[in-house]
Amino acid sequence: MISSSWNAKLRLMEARIKGKGISRKRSWRSEEDEILIKHIKRNGLGNWNLVGKNSGLSRDGKSCRLRWLNHLQPGLKKNLPFSEKEQLVIFSEHAVLGNKWSDIARQLPGRTDNDIKNFMNIYKKKCLKNGVISIYPPEISMKYTHNGTTELPKITSSGDHDSVVHQLVELMDLPSIQNTEKDVIDSLFSPYLDNPQSSFELLSQPQLAAAHQLSNTSLNNVLSSEQCSNLSIADLLYSDYSMGTDLGVHDSIDIFLILDSWLQFISTSEWEETSLPLHPRLLREYTASASRILDPN
Partner DNA sequence: AAATTCCCCAACCGCACGATA
Partner DNA sequence: ATATCGTGCGGTTGGGGAATT
In the complex, which residues of this chain contact DNA (CB under 7 A)? 3-5, 8, 16, 20, 23-28, 46-50, 59, 61-63, 65-67, 70-71, 78, 99-103, 113-115, 117-119, 121-122, 125-126, 129
The residue among 40 and 211 lying less far from DNA, judged by its C-beta, is 40
For residues 56-90, one letter each, b for 16 or more C-beta atoms within 10 angstroms of the residue's C-beta and e for the rest, the string is ebebeeebbbbbbeeebeeebeeeeebeeebbebb
Cβ-based nearer residue to DNA, 3 or 176: 3
DSSP string computed for 159-197: S-HHHHHHHHHHHHT-TTS---HHHHHHHHHGGGSSSTT
- Whichever of 8 and 209 has its CB closer to DNA, that residue is 8
Cβ of residue 98: shortest distance to DNA, in angstroms? 8
Among residues 28 and 163, whose Cβ is nearest to DNA?
28
For DNA, the closer CB: 83 or 149:
83
Using the 8-state DSSP alphabet, how is residue 82 labeled?
A: P
Closer by beta carbon to DNA, 93 or else 186: 93
At its nearest, how many Å lie between DNA and the CB of residue 139?
23
Closest contact distance (angstroms) between CB of 128 and DNA is 10
10 Å CB burial of residue 130 (0-12, 13-18, 19+) is: exposed
Nearest alpha carbon to residue 68 among 42, 38, 110, 37: 37
Least distance from DNA to the Cβ atom of residue 259, Å? 19
Give the shortest CB-292-to-DNA separation in angstroms.
12
Q: Tell which residue, 123, 281, 80, 262, has the closest CA to residue 185.
A: 262
Closest approach of Cβ 79 to DNA, in Å? 8
Interatomic CA distance for residues 39 and 43, integer angstroms = 6
Closest contact distance (angstroms) between CB of 256 and DNA is 19
DSSP one-letter string for 199-249: HHHHTSHHHHHHHHHHTT--TTSSS-HHHHHH--HHHHHTHHHHT-GGGT-
**Alpha-carbon dihedral sign for residues 52, 58, 63, 67:** negative
Of 30 and 176, CB closest to DNA:
30
